[in-house]
Amino acid sequence: MSKSPLPERSAARGARIADAIDVVCDELDSLTAQQWAAPSLCDGWSVKDTIAHLAWRVGTPSVRLAVDVMQASIAGHHLNPMESFDDIARGIADSGGTDELRRHLRAVARDKAAGRGRRNPGELIEVVVHGYDALHPLEIRLGFSAETTHRVAILSAALASRSTRALLRHRTFVAADAGWQIGSGSEIVADAAGIILFLNGRKAMQPPSRSMIFAPAPTPGLA
């Protein structure tokens, strides 16, 4: 099994984020109108809503993100700013077509590859997890590289719930399709997508273990 990947410089991370966006876009290119309207893993969000959120989240400057959330919170009378993500995503999804969303995401990928915009580890999590959120229910396998999924799994484990972190102290999750593992203890074999979805509180098509209790659908907007 692979060792933990070495830290990446910002430029290399930007290229990795760009590649991950392109992987998602390659699958979006062939979706039908029915598939765009299908439910995603985020409760109450369609595939289009989820991709609209992803485009906004990774393609909008930081200051503008804060302004958008503040304005949506005021307009929607939301006490919790997280609730504003729902309004923002649906607003973007309703205001344009799927072709426009795909073009925008491709442009964001070019910016990341060229060193423009945010290129922090959280951006990579957003792309991979929301890519799975949108396309996993359609039984579409996203071809992220093994190193990309390994990095996202490590980051997701660090940010996971207390119960999930406790589980990782006694169980080793083995990504059979990607050649990496995280955790310690007896092995639970799954695919990279199933492990990452579990770590982020999602339900996978092929969960690591039928005996595990999976979290309900996540709050929309939270990777």
Residue 184 inside a domain? The answer is no
How far is residue 105's CA from residue 55's CA, in Å, rounded to a whole number? 6
- The torsion angles phi and psi of 135, rounded to 5 degrees, stand at -105, -20
Q: How many CB atoms neighbour CB 162 within 10 A?
A: 7
Confidence of residue 217 (pLDDT cuts 50, 70, 90): very low
Residue 45 inside a domain? The answer is yes
Residue 68 inside a domain? The answer is yes
Residue 92 inside a domain? The answer is yes
Question: pLDDT per residue over 52-79, tens digit each?
Answer: 999 999 999 999 999 999 999 999 888 8
Question: pLDDT per residue over 86-96, tens digit each?
Answer: 899 889 999 99
How far is residue 115's CA from residue 118's CA, in Å, rounded to a whole number? 8
Question: pLDDT per residue over 22-56, tens digit each?
Answer: 999 999 999 999 999 999 999 889 999 999 999 99
Provide the CATH number for the domain around residue 37.
1.20.120
Residue 77 inside a domain? The answer is yes
Residue 99 inside a domain? The answer is yes
The pLDDT > 70 percentage for the chain reads: 90
Provide the domain count of the chain: 1
Residue 214 inside a domain? The answer is no
- Contact at 8 Å (CB) between 47 and 34? no
Domain range for 93:
10-138
25 by DSSP, 3-state: which? helix
Buried b (16+ CB within 10 A) or exposed e, 96-105: eebeebbebb
Residue 74 inside a domain? The answer is yes
Q: pTM of this prediction? A: 0.88
Question: pLDDT per residue over 137-165, tens digit each?
Answer: 999 999 999 999 999 999 999 999 999 99
